[in-house]
Chain A
Amino acid sequence: MKARAILLLLAALALVAAASLLLPFGPLRALFAANPDLGLAVLGELRLPRTLLALAYGATLGAAGAAVQALFANPLASPDLTGTTSGAALGAVVTAYYFNLTAPAGLAIGSVGGALLALLLLLALAGPKAETATLLLAGLAISALAGALTTLALALAPSPFAFYDAYDWLMGSLIDRSLDQAAFAAVPGLLVILLLLRLAPALDRLALGEEVAQSLGHNISRLRLQIVCLTALGVGACVAICGAIGFIGLIAPIFARRLVRGHPGRAILPAAMIGALLLTAADLAVRLAPLGRTLPIGVLTALIGVPFFLWLVVHMRWRVTS
């Protein structure tokens, strides 16, 4: 990737992060004027975790999306379209309402497990080199199953308020999370991104075809397992804290590949940066939209993502066949 592109992305990230901390500026300034301690508390305990979560979740989704797309050799393979996020959500709901583990660690274990199950199910259903149609159908089936099971789990939950409690979270929300919770999503997320970056050269060589990558000394079965586990860990940890947020993992890698001349592995780093940028910007938009109340952020990413997805489906002639 060109240094100029990295610098531009970093500058944009800094700008959006600063905006996310400071906007809307009016109430913050008023608070600081009235009571500096309270202002500082709002900044540090409300806005900072929210900004960190947006950056970390977005980056994780972008990097995981790029890795999954590279692995399946398919630009439509993203954590949300393949059912990984739905699986994670189901895992978290089950852990929270049936095992009463509502601490971040418990939720995270549940959602990472759910994500892992969903990914393994996808591999089993669609196969490692799935055609787009097979991949999307299998993903659809897994999403539908996980969605139905999530609703069922909430309906049968011992707590009568389960539906109401879970609604905001299920739609994806970055609001009212503590710094501790933010760390629970951000630390695994960053770790996963770093580990995925190490797999980038092997993923690039997958662009030569699986057989050639193997002949070049890459263990593709191990690579597949590593990506599945890392994606489940990163996405699962983020879903546990913020719920399911769609389409970032689909869109970010597509833009990212344009910055690295189409290399699917090399796209992981810019995809993480673009994912962070997109989610933070989306959160900012949700916050500043003059609607009188805050939209769940997952709704906004879906509203923007679905038309993009449809455009992609119509224009997808990526697979180079003889």
Chain B
Amino acid sequence: MMLTASGLSLPGRLHDASLAVAAGELVALVGPNGSGKTSLLHALAGIGGAGGTVSLNGVDPRMFGPAARPGAFTYLPASRDLPWPLLARDLIALGGGGGAVEGLELEELLDRRVDTLSTGERGRVLIARALAPKPDLLLLDEPTANLDPLWQLRLMALIRAEIARGDRAALVAIHDLDAAQRFADRILVMDKGRIAAEGLDGPHVAAIFGIERVDGRWQPVAA
């Protein structure tokens, strides 16, 4: 598995973003609100017609039809909204995945309607939808949103385990910088629609986020 993308552009959102993700990598995508994390994931997932080239194992995955896509990549949006009250089981099946997803404790949720689930439970079902097809590449937008602390830790560990198993990788947009540092192999920092830096060590963090580490805690940069 190898993902390369170059020159990804969407007017006003994304400016000439290029990246490469190798097999086995969990790459975190961090950045302030509106810095282009979601737009970058959209561009890679073939949502919304961004310009640029994407290559997954030498092929542009956006050329795949609905039958081949779930095996190549899946995309988890940040929103937990769903338009129809389907059963959790059916929702996961609609994503094109046949396999069960272990480690999400879905057994008791599967036969419930998604509108009867709590937001966190629905989040787990939606993550299962993205994981079930066992795609080469996971594109996850805020997967830990709405999850309780234990589930946040379990989920990140689960994503690690999933990509360790087989020739796979994940690109995860996330606001929690501590979680990014703890679980990701690499951290891409986005700012104003560009991939501005890699890693969270250096003066760019204060410049981009307006925060800095003081005694091990993130604090707003003193004026």
Contacts and interface: CB of A to CB of B under 8 A. Distances in A.
Interface string B58-76: 0000001111111001111
B75 A215 contact: yes
B47 A214 contact: yes
A2 to B, nearest CB: 14
A218 B66 contact: yes
Interface stretch (A36-44, A51-59, A110-118, A199-207): A199-207
Given A209-B82, A261-B90, A264-B84, A215 B69 contact: yes
B171 to A, nearest CB: 13
A243 to B, nearest CB: 32
Most B CB contacts (10 A, CB to CB) among A216, A218, A321 go to A216
Contacts of A156: none
B91 A216 contact: no
Main secondary structure of the interface of A (DSSP, over half): loop
Interface stretch (B12-20, B114-122, B182-190, B203-211): B114-122
Interface string A284-322: 000000000000000000000000000000000111111
Interface residues of A, number: 27
Given A205-B66, A216-B66, A217-B66, A319 B46 contact: no
Contacts of B80: 321-322
Contact of B95 (A216, A318, A320): A216
Nearest to A266: B90
A319 B85 CA distance: 7
A207 B84 CA distance: 6
B98 to A, nearest CB: 15
Contact of B65 (A205, A214, A217, A261): A217
B47 A215 contact: yes
A239 interface: no
Nearest to B114: A320
Contacts of B76: 212
A177 to B, nearest CB: 37
A320 B83 contact: yes
A73 B69 contact: no
A211 B77 contact: yes
Nearest to A321: B81
Given A204-B94, A320-B122, A322-B79, 20 more contacts: A205-B66, A208-B94, A208-B95, A208-B129, A212-B75, A212-B77, A214-B46, A215-B45, A215-B47, A216-B95, A216-B96, A217-B64, A217-B65, A261-B90, A262-B85, A263-B86, A320-B82, A320-B85, A322-B80, A322-B81
16 contacts: A207-B91, A208-B94, A209-B81, A209-B82, A211-B42, A211-B77, A215-B46, A215-B139, A262-B84, A262-B86, A264-B84, A318-B115, A320-B81, A320-B82, A320-B83, A320-B122
